[in-house]
């Protein structure tokens, strides 16, 4: 039940019906700020626009898609979530850490003017 609530809230955030809590309270963009807009631009074929909103869209979007597909496959196969095989679980953790480091690196560097500076909140 908790997963359904979190999924619903995430859907509202993605649709822009609920503002980002990070940006709402701190008045600065979060590390993933611009990723949804970048994804929409990418789906429309606007590569420059996608790169403007978030330079990691070309890495994170496929990574998240693969992670979601693997998680869904595991759920269909085993009937429970979060049960990756031991080797796959380690690889997944390493990839998630790499994605997190990249995300934080881009976020911090944007405050110093890299990648066009911080995106508008």
pLDDT of 79: 76
Domain count of the fold of the chain: 2
- Between 5 and 118, whose confidence is greater? 118
Range of the domain at 15: 1-30
- Are the C-beta atoms of 106 and 56 separated by less than 8 Å? yes
Position 83 scores a pLDDT of 56
Judge whether residue 115 has pLDDT over 90: no
Torsion of CA 108, 6, 39, 114, to 10 degrees: 0
Is residue 97 assigned to a domain? yes
Domain annotation covers residue 121: no
User: What pLDDT is stored for residue 94 in this prediction?
Assistant: 83
Residues 48 and 89 in one domain: yes
Residues 51 and 100 reside in one and the same domain: yes
Q: For residue range 34-91, what is the model confidence (pLDDT) as tens digits?
A: 888 888 899 999 999 999 999 999 999 898 888 788 778 877 887 776 655 545 667 7
- 100 shares its domain with 66: yes
Per-residue pLDDT at 20: 72
Answer yes or no: do 25 and 42 share one domain.
no
pLDDT score of 9: 59
Per-residue pLDDT at 26 exceeds 80: yes
Residue indicated by tokens 């085993």: 78
Q: Could you tell me if 83 and 74 are in contact, meaning their C-beta atoms sit under 8 angstroms apart? A: yes
Share of residues in the chain with pLDDT > 70 (%): 76
Q: Are residues 61 and 96 in the same domain?
A: yes
Do 17 and 41 share a domain, yes or no?
Answer: no
Q: How confident is the model at residue 108 (pLDDT cuts 50, 70, 90)?
A: very high
- Same domain? For 8 and 53 the reply is no
| Domain match, 53 and 80 both | yes
> Is 74 in the same domain as 104?
yes
Asked if the structure places residue 119 within a domain, the reply is: no
For residues 8-38, one letter each, b for 16 or more C-beta atoms within 10 angstroms of the residue's C-beta and e for the rest, the string is eeeeeeeeeeeebeeeeeeeebbbbbbbbbb
């Amino acid at each position: 039940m908790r997963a359904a609530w979190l999924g619903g809230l995430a859907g509202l955030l993605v649709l822009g019906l609920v503002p980002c809590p990070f940006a709402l309270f701190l008045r600065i963009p979060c590390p993933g700020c611009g990723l949804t807009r970048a994804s929409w631009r990418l789906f429309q074929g606007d590569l420059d626009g996608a790169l403007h909103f978030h330079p990691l869209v070309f890495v994170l979007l496929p990574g998240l898609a693969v992670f979601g597909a693997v998680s869904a496959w595991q759920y269909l196969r085993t009937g429970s979530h979060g049960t990756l095989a031991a080797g796959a679980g380690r690889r997944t953790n390493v990839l998630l850490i790499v994605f997190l480091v990249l995300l934080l690196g881009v976020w911090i560097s944007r405050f110093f003017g890299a990648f066009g500076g911080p995106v508008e909140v």
